[in-house]
Amino acid sequence: MNIHEYQAKEILRAQGVPIPPGEVATTPEQAEAIAKKFGTTVVVKAQVHAGGRGKAGGVKLARTPAEARDIAGKILGMQIKGLTVLRVLVTPAEEIASEAYVGVILDRASKAPVFMVSPAGGIDIEEVAAKTPEKIRRLRVDTRYGLQTYQAMELGFFLYADLKQARAAASIMQKLYAAFMASGASLAEINPLVVTPKGEVVALDAKMVIDDNELDRRPAIAALRDESAEAPSEVEARNASLTFIKLDGNVGCVVNGAGLAMATMDLVKYYGGDPANFLDIGGSSNPDKVVAALRIITADQNVKAILFNIFGGITRTDDVANGIVTATRANPLKVPIVIRLTGTNEDIAVKILKENGFSASADMDEAVKQAVALAKGGKAA
């Protein structure tokens, strides 16, 4: 789950990370009032679940309350990476002497939290990693001991030569680590971590991603979810207990089981196509899940063909067939559909589908080839 900058900042502030105050506005007038209250130059910042807001024009300085209002008027409603800005954070502007990057991620390869820090902050850390990897320092944390002070100091000195600043950064990293662990995060980063002309070290931006599997036992964190900031398809999928990830291709895939879903996507690619999504309808699929899955996939304008790939183990393929019939009766399909199913109650499923004008095959390669051809506007092979 993604959370907004202002929410991540609240979490980090609670751990004691120095962060300038800030308030959220949903209208230009609110932004003006907040700027007036702070009484200084402010930064108006788009609150969307996307990085690179600065480059996209979603982070702007405002010298007066009137300017804050005008800028908020421009940023609110703006699209950044396909997401509409519904809120802005208004925060007193800091003067910046230098910008650094500090982040911790849950690294699968290390099976542990790994810190990544760089004195070249502010910009894309991916770019720094690609062009000047020597400017990045990594450190694996042993979760039995946490980020020890000597380790944090080592990272601090990689960022700053000045002892006081290195100490300040080390303390911030230990707090960042505490917030990361306490929130069930898979990523927590501060970019930029800045030094002001007075030599103070403060966090001006914060990003956290929470592991969905950690939410059940953390209701306060789960409550930070902002559905209005998420892709509607992902919201609907979550509410229907489907595992769904939208992708850029045009073959809509409905599959049961994560392994088969991955294999299906691989095969779509292998035959020259592009999957429009990853979608796992799960083990014991009732027809309702299939209906929801079809609704989500057909709402995607990119989808030019739909591919069902179902292996009936616990899943009854006749349940899936019934779901397909129910869903398409309510909402006739505008794109071709290819159905591959095999396993439990296959005979019944094929009968149901045939009676309703669908065809089904048991051959996965053939089905994928057909779906790819249909998505390209060709005839089924």
Give the residue, chosen from 192, 257, 273, 275, that forms a contact with ligand GDP under the rule CB under 6 A: 192
Q: Which residue has the tokens 């380790």?
A: 151
Task: Name which of Mn ion, ligand GDP, none residue 96 binds, using a CB cut-off of 5 to 8 Å depending on partner kind.
Answer: ligand GDP
Task: Name which of ligand GDP, Mn ion, none residue 367 binds, using a CB cut-off of 5 to 8 Å depending on partner kind.
Answer: none
Give the residue, chosen from 18, 54, 146, 336, that forms a contact with ligand GDP under the rule CB under 6 A: 54
Residues 311-370 that bind ligand GDP (CB under 6 A): none
Give the residue, chosen from 21, 52, 272, 313, that forms a contact with ligand GDP under the rule CB under 6 A: 52
CA distances from 258 to 158, 178, 314, 344, 367 (A): 41, 32, 14, 18, 18
Q: How far is the CB of 6 from ligand GDP (least distance, A)?
A: 11
204 lies in the site for ligand GDP, by CB under 6 A: yes
- By beta-carbon proximity to ligand GDP, the closer residue of 47 and 256 is 47
The alpha helices in 144-216, defined as continuous H runs, are 149-159, 163-183
Residues 204-233 that bind Mn ion (CB under 5 A): 205
Give the residue, chosen from 12, 19, 25, 43, that forms a contact with ligand GDP under the rule CB under 6 A: 43
Q: How far is the CB of 1 from ligand GDP (least distance, A)?
A: 18
Burial of 70 (0-12, 13-18, 19+ CB in 10 A): middle
Q: How far is the CB of 166 from ligand GDP (least distance, A)?
A: 21
103 lies in the site for ligand GDP, by CB under 6 A: no
Reduced to 3 states (helix: H, G, I; strand: E, B; else coil), residue 219 is helix
Cα–Cα distance, 87 to 365 (Å, whole number): 47
Q: What six digits make up the tokens of 247?
A: 């992708």
Task: Name which of ligand GDP, Mn ion, none residue 113 binds, using a CB cut-off of 5 to 8 Å depending on partner kind.
Answer: none
- By beta-carbon proximity to ligand GDP, the closer residue of 121 and 323 is 121
Burial of 164 (0-12, 13-18, 19+ CB in 10 A): exposed
Cα–Cα distance, 90 to 211 (Å, whole number): 28
| Catalytic residue of the set 6, 101, 160, 177 | 101
Q: Which residue has the tokens 């230009």?
A: 28
The reply to whether 101 belongs to the active site is: yes
| Catalytic residue of the set 67, 99, 189, 346 | 189
Crossing angle of helices 65-75 and 28-38, in 10° steps, is 140
Q: Which residues have C-beta within 8 Å of that of residue 301, sequence separation ≥ 6? A: none
Site string for Mn ion, 180-199 (x = CB under 5 A): -----------x--------
- By beta-carbon proximity to ligand GDP, the closer residue of 43 and 367 is 43
Size of the site for Mn ion (CB under 5 A): 2
- By beta-carbon proximity to Mn ion, the closer residue of 123 and 215 is 123
Q: Which residues have C-beta within 8 Å of that of residue 22, sequence separation ≥ 6? A: 6, 9, 89, 90, 91, 92
- By beta-carbon proximity to ligand GDP, the closer residue of 176 and 350 is 176
Beta strands in the chain (DSSP E): 23-25, 42-46, 59-62, 79-80, 83-84, 88-92, 98-107, 112-118, 137-140, 185-195, 201-203, 207-210, 243-246, 251-255, 277-280, 305-312, 337-343, 360-361
47 lies in the site for Mn ion, by CB under 5 A: no
Burial of 145 (0-12, 13-18, 19+ CB in 10 A): exposed
Cα–Cα distance, 322 to 337 (Å, whole number): 15
Q: How far is the CB of 20 from ligand GDP (least distance, A)?
A: 7
- By beta-carbon proximity to ligand GDP, the closer residue of 54 and 73 is 54
Stretch that binds ligand GDP, among 91-99, 164-172, 294-302, 337-345 (CB under 6 A): 91-99
Q: What six digits make up the tokens of 258?
A: 């994560």
Task: Name which of Mn ion, ligand GDP, none residue 165 binds, using a CB cut-off of 5 to 8 Å depending on partner kind.
Answer: none
Cα–Cα distance, 286 to 2 (Å, whole number): 29
| Residues labelled catalytic | 101, 189
Residues forming the site for Mn ion (CB under 5 A): 191, 205
Residues making contact with ligand GDP (CB under 6 A): 43, 45, 51-54, 59, 93-94, 96, 99, 122, 191-192, 204-205
